[in-house]
Structure 1
Amino acid sequence: MRLFELMDPSESDYSNTVELYDALPKYVWSITEEEVRKNRVLTRSFKSRGVVYQVKIKPAVVERKKGGESESVMLYPGSREEMVEEVLRKLAVNGNLGLAADGNNHTIGVYFTVNQLRKELARTNHTYSASEVLEALDVMSSSLLEVSQGKGSDRDAYRGNFLSSLAVRRREAYLEDGTAKCFATFHPLVQHAIRTQQFRMYDYSTSMNIRSDLGRYFFKRMSHYWAQASLDNPYQFKLVPFLESSPRGLSPRMKDNMRAIRLALTALAEEDVILPNWNETMIKNPQDRRQTVDVAYEVFPTESFRKKVMRANKKQSVVTGRAALNDVRSAIAHQPGSSNSGSSLDNGTDNVFDDLENVAAN
């Protein structure tokens, strides 16, 4: 578990991305009241490493004060919750990672204070009041995220809160004293990734500086999957499947989709992640060449981003080596003659449902 931490002072600008969980289109950046009335549980399709998943997001019902009285409102986890979750994970890698007893098992989480969250959010230019941070924590601990694979009798599904459990003082007390310790356990998929070393170091500071939601989503995917970034190995994607699998979704008009991609890529170029001269290839409708049905992109890394990717690769090699050593020690101490697969690294897929029973058990 300690392999997840980044305690070297030279790694102060970094955190970890998590396999599958961070790529899921789990946040809701915008939604109309009509969409909410039509279906309160949002369903999205997502494809990663050749595996197709279905993602369902059930909103939280939280209480707000209005005119001296409480009213219940329905909220989906959005950009605010995304930022708070990023800071919670940053605190975890900086030494606040902890375990909580859960029957015969232990769950992985993070110790924090509301003041810590607010201070780090403000440092990265995301300023929220104590009440807003508490509401974000409430939303994350109440919203449900279900990820499934397959259909019918072959369908595997796993459901959990964005924060599986949350221990805080009463809201009124915490608004008076923001220094009291809290503890939140991560989503089961995040805990599973930490236990099995399915995470990768990335530039947290740059991510928090990106003002475009879609640009930030791009950046985390590039940081996690573009491990061989170079001018000879560009990041390639197509507009339609990418947006369909993102929290933004696909707009009816192609020009709106193209504009969203260009703004996101421009935001990355401004943060010295990619070069500003990416390639766009229009894919036309064979029956009507005037109609663009998709766009293929090639994006090239800056030298700065390439060096950070190389550093992340080196860090991953260290984690791999230490995890293997820990497995050998465990095998000698507890299971002589057998292998321990509990700390295996990514085998080229992110099909966590192969390990579903292990996730539930742990």
Structure 2
Amino acid sequence: MLESSNSIVAPNKRVLPSPDRSPQYDLFATFFGNPRDLSNSIELWDAIPKYSVSARAQNMLRDDNGRLPVHKHDFHYHPSPKADNPTFKCTMSLQPASIETEHGRQDYFPSADEELVEEIIKKIFSDQHYGLHDVTNKESWVRFSLNMIRKELKARGKTRSFQEIKQSLEILTRTVLEVEIEGQGNRKTAYTAPILNDMTRVKRSDWLEDPDAMWTARLPALLSHAINNLSYRQFNYRILMQLSSPMARWLHKRLSHEYTNASITTPYQILFSTISRDSGLLHHNRTSSNIQTLERALAELVQHEVLYFHESKKRNSGRTITDVLYTLTPHSNFVSEMKAANARVRDARTKLAQN
């Protein structure tokens, strides 16, 4: 429950810090357009392929005791503005969550369901009735209920039970994410934390009786850092939640964050190998099958008027496909969204400089 406009009281009565009003949080929660349809992509946080191991792949990886190995994946991260910053090589490690189920204890990696739940929690956080941001200590807190998540999923065409939502929250809380970022020379920066921290839960008997009972969680430090430094961008949350393919959602986020100069006359080019490396979502043994997965995702983006059309040019060595260059032409709706996002960035920087 909210005790005042500046403090969140968890169900166990532990009072969280009450920071001064945060101009950075005000800017994060203010959108250029219909706020119901918009949310924020977080630069480094959303570049980490933390939802890349599908439920099907996990079923194949589990041993007879329900255990999963640590999952590692290499990807590249290029901070904005790209012209001024180098590309960083990164390695992600996921320590799976151990969850008690009706079939016994099993390990889980976060996947598509957890991705959607996290997006909703970030969206709830952007409503200042449910969030708190401490700019000094770089902490961000959110309160929510299972019913809030369930209603939002249903409104976006995704139906999940209370038990399924609770399990997703457990996976987000118990999965340990580690990212190593290579710097200059042999220097590396490491980040290690659960996806959601310090979760204050409601007991099963209580949430069955009252699904509106409030939970509390601390959001990732990388998100708090992004709020303080304005390293986030507005994107179309409504479309993201409508997309059925994890690959389509990844592409939509990537385009929304990187394609700042979106124009029908300035298409976006990206290699198949780059998408495979940075998304971690292409798991088929055959390259042709992975290309089909990607092209279905691109077709879905055309259907939802993110892209107007796309072209591909295969690179071959003999009869073997070594890579594919994709040229993506944005839909006019997406171009308008990017212009609004750019205007919001300019406005936020001006306002923050004035504070």
Query: One fold, TM greater than 0.5?
Result: yes
Which of residues 2, 6, 11 is equivalent to 2:35? 11
Q: Which residue matches 1:35?
A: 61
| Alignment CA distance shift 1:8-1:180 (3 Å) | farther
Structure-2 separation of matches of 1:105 and 1:275: 44
Structure-2 separation of matches of 1:270 and 1:317: 31
Amino acid of the structure 1 residue aligned with 2:340: R
Q: CA deviation at 1:108?
A: 0.3
Which of residues 312, 315, 329 is equivalent to 1:300? 329
Structure-2 separation of matches of 1:298 and 1:153: 35
| Alignment CA distance shift 1:5-1:146 (3 Å) | same
Amino acid of the structure 2 residue aligned with 1:140: L
Structure-2 separation of matches of 1:96 and 1:76: 31
Which of residues 322, 327, 339 is equivalent to 2:351? 322
| Alignment CA distance shift 1:194-1:282 (3 Å) | same
Q: CA deviation at 1:319?
A: 1.1
Which of residues 73, 96, 112 is equivalent to 1:44? 73
| Alignment CA distance shift 1:179-1:9 (3 Å) | farther
Q: CA deviation at 1:9?
A: 7.3
Which of residues 64, 73, 84 is equivalent to 2:106? 73
Q: Which residue matches 2:9?
A: none
Q: Which residue matches 1:334?
A: none
Structure-2 separation of matches of 1:95 and 1:39: 38
Tell me the SS of whatever aligns to 1:146: strand
Structure-2 separation of matches of 1:100 and 1:195: 9
Structure-1 separation of matches of 2:293 and 2:172: 27
Amino acid of the structure 1 residue aligned with 2:96: P
Structure-2 separation of matches of 1:305 and 1:41: 38
Which of residues 254, 258, 262 is equivalent to 1:221? 254
Tell whether 2:159 aligns with 1:127. yes
Q: Which residue matches 2:140?
A: 108
Tell me the SS of whatever aligns to 1:192: helix
Tell me the SS of whatever aligns to 2:308: coil
Structure-2 separation of matches of 1:7 and 1:110: 19
Q: Which residue matches 1:349?
A: none
Q: Deviations over 1:314-342 (max 9, x none)?
A: 1111111112222xxxxxxxxxxxxxxxx
Amino acid of the structure 2 residue aligned with 1:261: L
Tell me the SS of whatever aligns to 2:234: strand
Q: CA deviation at 1:167?
A: 1.1
Structure-1 separation of matches of 2:243 and 2:116: 11
Unaligned residue ranges in structure 1 (runs of 5+) = 327-362
Indicate if the aligned counterparts of 1:281 and 1:295 stay in contact, CA closer than 8 A: yes
| Alignment CA distance shift 1:124-1:301 (3 Å) | same
Tell whether 2:303 aligns with 1:270. yes
Structure-1 separation of matches of 2:279 and 2:31: 32
Structure-2 separation of matches of 1:180 and 1:45: 40
Structure-2 separation of matches of 1:106 and 1:310: 29
Amino acid of the structure 2 residue aligned with 1:35: L
| Alignment CA distance shift 1:325-1:130 (3 Å) | same
Structure-2 separation of matches of 1:115 and 1:7: 25
Q: CA deviation at 1:111?
A: 1.4
Which of residues 90, 96, 99 is equivalent to 1:62? 99
Amino acid of the structure 2 residue aligned with 1:310: K
Normalised to the residue count of structure 2, the TM-score between the two structures is 0.84
Amino acid of the structure 2 residue aligned with 1:131: Q
Which of residues 166, 173, 183 is equivalent to 1:141? 173
Q: CA RMSD in A?
A: 2.1
Structure-1 separation of matches of 2:138 and 2:267: 41
Tell me the SS of whatever aligns to 1:95: coil
Q: Deviations over 1:257-285 (max 9, x none)?
A: 21011100001000011013x11111011
Q: Which residue matches 1:356?
A: none
Normalised to the residue count of structure 1, the TM-score between the two structures is 0.82
Percent identical pairs in the alignment equals 28
Unaligned residue ranges in structure 2 (runs of 5+) = 1-24, 79-86
